[in-house]
Amino acid sequence: MYYFIVNPSSSSGKGLKIYQTIEPVLKKEQIPYQVFLTKSSAHTAYLAREISEKHAPCIIVAVGGDGTVNDVLNGLCNLSSIVFGYIPTGSGNDLCRGLHLPTKPQDALRAILSPEVVRPVSVGVLTCGSKKRRFLVSSGIGFDAEVCRQAQRSPLKDFLNRLRLGKLTYAGTALGVLFHLKSSPLTLAVDGNPPKRLDGFLFAAAMNLKYEGGGFMFCPDASAKDDVLDLILVERMAPLKILLLLPTALVGKHTSFSGIHICRFKTASLQLDKPLITHTDGEPQGEQPSIVWSLEQERLPFILK
């Protein structure tokens, strides 16, 4: 049985339209399936929890953007007993880039119905006090999270999505954030090593895949097929220098510049002097004074091709 969790409002209504193009295939080929339309982030997680509790082992397919996948991921129980499929409708598509998934709905559906590769992938965890949130793509604090928060509030987002230019929302928002972002001193501890202190930083992100932010290759060696996360930490620097560096990050050529630190880890803790906004897979998670990044014990079987 296939269970489709569809975000009808993803990408300004594209989610429902895309699902309506693939459902005739399910009916024609007499595929056993059920479909559930989401009403909110919390409802998405609730559906995933109910399905995975009652019907595992089973196949769950998310239809939406990276944020929809994140909500489904955070509702799932018994990760290793779920086979997960994804039909993208969003504008960022960092999950598709990182896992080399089909971006066209019909191609994605065909891969899901006749999978050639199903591989367990690593799942990251953001811990803030007693609260935990999973992620598949990345989790960040500072600049990248602030861009996500402001982009979601932008009145231009729906308009640009309709023109299939949704990524421009993030690019335009990033320019504004650069000149107004507040920094904070940071204490970082990685895998039990002695803590390091920085006077200020632009952002830090734990990457499970290479890309975030609509195609920035922040950690070129990141892979959900291994048992580690990749950390990128960018020190506070002049906005003009950042503007010059950002294009190089599109092709992963930023890693050798001063002020940019990259390493691999299993557990990293960050302590800030003042709270900053965080995100998981582009979904804002509120301002936090301290966070821990780690890996989920279970992997998630994912239909890759």
pLDDT of 37 > 60? The answer is yes
Banded pLDDT at 1 (limits 50, 70, 90): very high
- pTM assigned to the model: 0.92
Q: Of 4-13, 35-44, 254-263, where does mean pLDDT reach its minimum?
A: 4-13
pLDDT of 174 > 90? The answer is no
Which H helix or E strand runs over 145?
helix 143-153
pLDDT of 142 > 80? The answer is yes
Residue-wise over 42-54: b if at least 16 C-beta within 10 A, else e? ebbbbbbeebbee
pLDDT of 169 > 70? The answer is no
pLDDT for 161 equals: 52
Q: State which amino acid sits at residue 137.
A: V
Mind listing the pLDDT tens digit for each residue in 77-117?
Answer: 999 999 999 999 976 789 999 999 999 999 999 999 999 99
pLDDT of 28 > 80? The answer is yes
**What's the mean pLDDT when you consider all of the chain?**
91
Q: Which two tokens stand for residue 95?
A: 């999950």
Other beta carbons within 10 Å of 201 = 24
Mind listing the pLDDT tens digit for each residue in 121-138?
Answer: 999 999 999 999 999 999
C-alpha pair distances (Å), 98 with each of 103, 136, 140, 274, 283: 12, 10, 17, 32, 17
pLDDT of 298 > 60? The answer is yes
Rounded Cα distance, 61 and 89, in Å? 13
